[in-house]
Amino acid sequence: MFLNKYPKEVKQILSKYPLEHKRSAVMPLLYLAQREEGYITKSAMQDIAKMLDITETEVASIVGFYTLYHDEKAGKYHMQVCTDLPCALRGADEFLQNLCGNLGIKVGETTPDGLVTLEGVMCLAACDKAPMFQTQGPDGIKYHENMTVDRTMELIEALRKSNS
Ligand code: FES
């Protein structure tokens, strides 16, 4: 049970919510569950559901809705390109396709070295700065705006070097 691994953190999270609203702790608990492996396992979702007296489906729907949660093992970095309409009007789709071509992977796939998983996501609130993406990795979440494919490939190369 993942929750047994972090008793102090779990207690601290739950202490922030009144007992009758403990379900509100679902997001910080999911974040905690994701910390170790970079994704949330099915058994962690079951643990959280049981702990908060909610259904596994409710927990899974939250994981599925938010781009910051992942339910599958992926690369060390999630590179999430916004392809929502305003960004699409500024060339986001073409940017993403060119990036796929350069990396030799499709959207949703991970580079063979396990470094980057490329994803298309909805609005990241930088609509006038497309093409843009966020990276989620061990160093947190970082925004990259007004990007080109060349600059993105340089960024990936720098990540590769710093992680080798
Ligand atoms: S539509 Fe892409 S950041 Fe808002």
Q: Is the CB of 127 under 6 A from ligand 1?
A: yes
**Is residue 86 domain-shared with residue 151, that is, in the same domain?**
yes
Range of the domain at 99: 77-162
Q: Is the CB of 126 under 6 A from ligand 1?
A: yes
- Tell me, yes or no, whether 13 lies in a domain: yes
Structure token pair of residue 51: 């702990």
| Confidence (pLDDT) at 66 | 92
| Confidence (pLDDT) at 35 | 83
| Confidence (pLDDT) at 127 | 96
**Is residue 59 domain-shared with residue 96, that is, in the same domain?**
no
* Burial class for 78, CB neighbours closer than 10 Å (0-12, 13-18, 19+): buried
| Confidence (pLDDT) at 16 | 96
**Is residue 58 domain-shared with residue 107, that is, in the same domain?**
no
Q: Is the CB of 86 under 6 A from ligand 1?
A: yes
**Is residue 157 domain-shared with residue 108, that is, in the same domain?**
yes
**Total structural domains in the chain?**
2
Task: Single out the residue of 81, 106, 105, 74 nearest to residue 95, CA to CA.
Answer: 81
Q: Is the CB of 124 under 6 A from ligand 1?
A: yes
**Is residue 42 domain-shared with residue 103, that is, in the same domain?**
no
Q: Could you tell me the mean pLDDT of each successive run of 10 residues in the chain, 164 residues long?
A: 83 95 96 87 94 96 93 94 97 97 96 96 96 93 97 97 90
pTM summary value: 0.83
From the CA of 86, give the closest atom in ligand 1: 1
